Amino acid sequence: MWKVLVLLSMLAAVQASAGWRPAVVDSSAARPVPSDIPSDRIVGGDVASPGQFPHQVGVWVYLDYSSNPAFCGGSILTKNVVVTAAHCAQPGQRFRLVFGAHEIHNETGPVVVRHSVKKLVHERYRDDGVYSNDIALLYFDEPLVFNERIRPIKLPTNERALYYNAKVTMSGWGLLSSSEREVAPVLHFVQSRVVTNLYCRARFFFQAVNPTNICVSGWWAKGTCQGDSGGPLVVYDAAGEPTLVGITSFGVSFGCQLSWPDVFTRVSSYLQWIPAGIASFKAQDVDWRSVRAMSGEPAVLLQHIMDVEMEGLDYADTLTSRVGDTRSANTRIVTGDEAEPHQFPFQVGMLIADPDGGKFFCGGSLLTTTWVLTAAHCADPGMYFDVILGAHRIREHEPSQQRFKVTKTATTVVVHPDWDPDKTVNDIALVRLPQPCTLNEYVKLTRIPSPERASATLWNKNATMSGWGKPSDSAESISPVLRYVMTRIVSNYYCNFRYMFLLIRDTNICASGFSGKSTCNVRKPSILISVEIVIAALLRRRVVRGAAAQGDSGGPLTIPDDDGEPTQVGITSFGVALGCEKYWPPAFTRVTSYLDWIHKTVGSGWSDTSKLGPLPATSNSSIW
C-alpha cells in the first residue's frame, strides 16, 4: 500500500525532492505488484486459525485483462458487497474476491470465489499523497451463502467514537517482513492498541493524518505492511463479536518493522456513505422499461410507518450517544411498535375527501386549540376534512376522541403560498377547526422549536415518527392503532446524495432509513419520457386521490426535549415510490424553516384571534 516517505533527519529535503510515494513490492513470485497499486502487510503477527476471521476477504486486483494482479484485503458487508481501500479499487479494472480462505493460494474446500467489475470509490478520495477518504465498495452479482467460514462484519453505530487505547486486531495475507517479496501463504493477524490522532499526526509531521483516520501504535514492530491494504481493523465486544472500525490505508515507506503508527480509514466516519453506496449498486439494476410501464400518477406522498433492515448489513449491538448513554440497537420493528394509548396526545388523524368524492388518510399535529399542522400535499387537494383528536384506535369512536368537520375555504385550510407539488417544495399547511378543542390528558398541543434555534441541523439526534399508516406494502388499509418508530436524523448532504441531488433542500430534514427505520409509499410512477424525469418521479410523491392511498403524510417527526417531552421538528413529506421496504431515508418538511409563516398565519390576520391557544414555542419550554 502507499507509504508516506519520511526521513527523520532530513524531512524538508525529502519533501522537496520526493514528497509522498508508493512502495513497490511483489505480491508473490508469480504475481508482481505493479507500481500503480500501493499495498500493506501484517508484520510481527501470528498465524490465524482456519475460520477465525470469517469476514476476511482476499482481493486480487487486475489493472487490465492481461496484467498479473496485485493483492489487497477486504471485509464482507453484505451478501453482495465487500468494503476495501480506495487505493486498491481505483486502478482496478476487475477483481477476484476470495472468501472463507485460510491458505490464499488454495481455493478448494470451503473457499468461495466471486468476480466483480462494479466498484464505488469514494467521490472525495484523494490519491495525491494525502489519501483522504480511502474507502471503496466492490459489488458482485451472485450472492454469498453465509456459514461458519463466511460471515459479514458489523459496522460501528457511534459516529463520534474515538476508540482511544482500545485493543484492536489486524488481519491479512500481507508480507511478513520488509525483506519478503511474496504474500503470506496463510492468514496472519496481529493485535495492537489505538493511539490518539494527535500523537499519530505528530509522528507523520502533521501532514497526512485526518479526523477520518484512525491509528494503531505500531509499537514492538507489530503492524501492517504490503499486501494488507483494504483489510480490516476490528474491535471485539464482550461477547467476542467483531466490529469493523478501520480499513488498512497507509504507513511509512522506509520499512514495516520500525514501530511507526499504521493509519486506517475510520469506518465510523462513513456510516452514511456506506449504505448509500450499497443502495446505489441496487439502483443500477432498475429495469427502466418496467418503470415506464407503470400506471398511476408520477409520484405518491402518503406514507406509513415501518421498519426495514438492509439485507446483510449489520451494526454493533449497542449505541453510544455523545453524552455516553448506551442504548440497544436491536430495535428493528418491521411494522412499527404499537404506541401506548395516548402516548402521542398531539397526534391528529384526518380522513380527507376531494371534490370528486375520493378519500384518503393523512396525519397531523395539534398546534393550537384551533389549528392543526399538516402537509400541503394533504391539504391542497382536500375539500372536506374529518379531523380526529385524542385517538388510539382510529376506526373506533373512543370516549377520548374529539371530532371536527372542516369544509375547505380560504380561511379554514391555509396551504403555504409557495407550495409546489411538482418539486415538493414548501410542503406545509394549516387546518383550522370550527371551534377550539378541549385540552386534557388525551389531547395536548405539539411543541415546536424556538425561533432562536431555527438554524440548528439536529444531525444524529434520536427522532420518532408516529401515525396510523399502512404497516407494509401488502397491507390493504391503514393501521387500526397508532404506531411509532424511532430513528436518527441524518445530514441533508447524505439525504441529498441518496435522492441524486434532485429534491432535498434546506427546508427539509431527513431520517436515516438505513438502520432499520423508515417511512413508505403505496403507488408507482406513471409513463415518463426521459430517464432523468423517471428518476425524479420515482423520488417525488404527491397526494393520492384514492381510497387505496392512505398513510402518515403530514404526521409529526419529533425529538426529545431535555425534560423528555417531544418537540416537533418535521412534517412527513416524501420518500421513494419504489415501495416501502427500500431502506431509503424519508424526507420531512423542516418545521424551523417555517416558524415565521406559522406565527403569521396563526397569530394574526384572523377574525377570532382571541380564541387561539398560545403557540407551543411560548407556552412550552423550548427544546434548546
Name the strand (E) or helix (H) holding 203: helix 197-203
DSSP codes of every residue in 356-416: TS-EEEEEEEE-SSSEEEE-HHHHTT-SEEEEEES-SBTTS--TT-EEEEEE--TTTEEE-
Q: Which of 40, 262, 380, 427 is catalytic?
A: 427
CA distance 384 to 51: 64
The verdict on whether 553 is a catalytic residue reads yes
Q: Parallel, antiparallel, or unpaired: how do β-strands 81-84 and 56-62 relate?
A: unpaired
Number of neighbours of residue 189 by Cβ within 10 angstroms: 20
**How many whole angstroms separate alpha carbon 72 and alpha carbon 154?**
20
Local structure of 534: helix, strand or coil: helix
CA 479 → CA 48, 476, 525, 582, distances in Å?
52, 9, 24, 20
CB 103 within 8 A of CB 149: no
Phi, psi dihedral angles at 440 (to 5 degrees): -155, -165
DSSP 157-189: S-TT---TT-EEEEEES--SSTT--S--SB-EE
Cα–Cα separations (whole angstroms), residue 349 to 303, 345, 363, 547, 586: 13, 11, 5, 15, 20
Q: Which of 34, 81, 80 is nearest to 60 (CA)?
A: 34
Contact 359, 352 (CB under 8 A): yes
**Pseudo-torsion of CA 77, 78, 82, 83, nearest 10°?**
-30
CB contact at 8 A, 300 and 542: yes
Angstrom CA distances, 434 to 102, 292, 400, 413, 561, stand at 74, 44, 19, 11, 31
C-alpha cell at 328: 440497544
**C-alpha cell read off for 144:** 454469498
CA-closest candidate to residue 2, choices 19, 44, 29? 19
Is 237 in the active site?
no
Alpha-carbon span 278 to 82, nearest angstrom: 10
Contact 325, 567 (CB under 8 A): no
Is 427 an active-site residue?
yes
Catalytic residue among 377, 416, 479, 552: 377
Q: Which of 75, 229, 249, 553 is catalytic?
A: 553
Q: Which residues, 6 or more positions from 497, have their beta carbon under 8 angstroms from its beta carbon? A: 276
- What is the greatest pairwise CA distance in the chain? 88
Instruction: For residue 513, give every residue at least 6 positions away whose Cβ sits within 8 Å of its Cβ, in sequence order, or none.
Output: 308, 487, 498, 519, 575, 583, 584, 585, 586
DSSP string of 216-257, one letter each residue: E--GGG-B--TT-TT-EEEEE-TTS-EEEEEEEEEEETT-SS
Residue-wise burial string across 391-415, b where 16 or more C-beta atoms lie within 10 A, e elsewhere: bbebeeeeebbbebebebeeeebbb
Residues annotated as catalytic (active site), given as ranges: 377, 427, 553
